[in-house]
């Protein structure tokens, strides 16, 4: 644990809370797993100050990356990666409220931020606001949210005019491997968002999804792992049109479990 970094950040006035997330908070991390650290601030911490702190503990530093969230990406002297993400707690909670309270579904990863909050390990909480947010949103999975996610994802996968299965079919006919890869990725992102909602589980992110679902989801489509493996096996084979059958099979199997769940 990079405790020196945490202690240094605690002394900065605008830092409200610090939390550890990602695989390091679970039982599935290994010695190569990185640290995901979330620093909740009321104002920006000057980059010079951050660099001064991090340079004492890191062999490599990238300050102020903003590819996803605003963050510093570094390699600790131990050789382990550490990502430090800076967030405004009010804005962060508003996004979670949109999901948990207002039941707004996204195209994928709908409940990831919710999962991140309720599963994080709080390392510092100056005024107790992060702990209060954890308690506020540590609630049963809303039925309205479950239905909203399932409805949105099955439309994106199958029935909407720009559904991924249609886009995949067009990409296959054009022989556009890059497009096939991209559309299949989006198709699977919607698929797993649906599965997490179906099982009333918050979304863990993009890693180890098949393994996690097999171990934690009571409701899974028939031939769940086999259908995914078939899709990947056929994506770049000579007769690429086979993947259209694979996609349709995944949709057919998930529709069966959705139907059963809704009827119950």
Q: Of 92, 118, 137, which residue constitutes the final position of a domain?
A: 137
Residue 67 sits in the same domain as residue 173:
no
Tally of structural domains, the chain: 2
Residue 154 sits in the same domain as residue 245:
yes
For the segment 41-91, what is each residue's pLDDT rounded down to a tens digit? 999 999 999 999 999 999 999 999 999 899 999 999 999 999 999 999 999
Q: Does pTM top 0.85 for this prediction?
A: yes
Q: Residue 37's domain is classified under what CATH number?
A: 3.30.460.10
| Three-state SS sequence of the chain | CCHHHHHHHHCCCCEEEEEEEHHHHCCCCCCCCCEEEEEEECCCCCHHHHHHHHCCCEEEEEEEECCCCCEEEEEECCCCEEEEEEECHHHHHHHHHHHHCCCCCCCCCCCHHHHHHHHCEEEEECCCHHHHHHHHHCCCCCHHHHHHHHHHHHHHHHHCCCCHHHHHHHHHHHCCHHHHHHHHHHHHHHHHHHHHHHCCCCCCCCCCHHHHHHHHCCCCCCCHHHHHHHHHHHCCCCCCCHHHHHHHHHHHHHHHHHHHHHHC
Print the domain residue range for 251: 143-263
**What is the pLDDT confidence band of residue 33, given thresholds at 50, 70 and 90?**
confident
Residue 133 sits in the same domain as residue 147:
no
């Amino acid at each position: 644990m990079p405790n020196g970094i945490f202690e240094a950040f605690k002394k900065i006035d605008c830092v409200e809370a610090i939390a550890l997330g990602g695989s390091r908070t679970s039982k599935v991390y290994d010695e190569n797993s990185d640290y995901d650290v979330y620093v909740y601030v009321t104002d920006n911490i000057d980059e010079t100050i951050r660099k001064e702190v991090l340079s004492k503990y890191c062999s490599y530093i990238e300050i102020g990356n903003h590819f996803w969230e605003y963050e510093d990406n570094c390699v600790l002297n131990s050789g382990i990666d550490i990502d430090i993400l800076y967030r405004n707690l009010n804005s962060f909670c508003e996004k979670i409220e949109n999901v948990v309270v207002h039941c707004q579904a996204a195209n994928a990863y709908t409940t990831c931020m919710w999962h991140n909050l309720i599963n994080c390990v709080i390392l510092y909480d100056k005024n107790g606001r992060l702990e209060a947010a954890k308690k506020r949103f540590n609630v049963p999975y809303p039925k309205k949210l479950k239905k909203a996610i399932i409805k949105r994802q099955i439309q994106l996968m199958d029935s909407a005019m720009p559904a991924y299965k249609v886009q995949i079919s067009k990409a296959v006919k054009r022989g556009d491997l890059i497009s096939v890869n991209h559309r299949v990725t989006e198709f699977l992102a919607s698929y797993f968002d649906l599965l997490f909602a179906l099982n009333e589980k918050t979304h863990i992110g993009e890693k180890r999804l098949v393994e996690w679902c097999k171990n934690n989801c009571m409701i899974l489509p028939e031939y769940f792992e086999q259908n995914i493996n078939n899709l990947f096996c056929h994506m770049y084979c000579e007769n690429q049109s086979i993947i259209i059958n694979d996609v349709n099979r995944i949709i057919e199997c998930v529709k069966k479990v959705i139907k059963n769940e809704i009827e119950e």
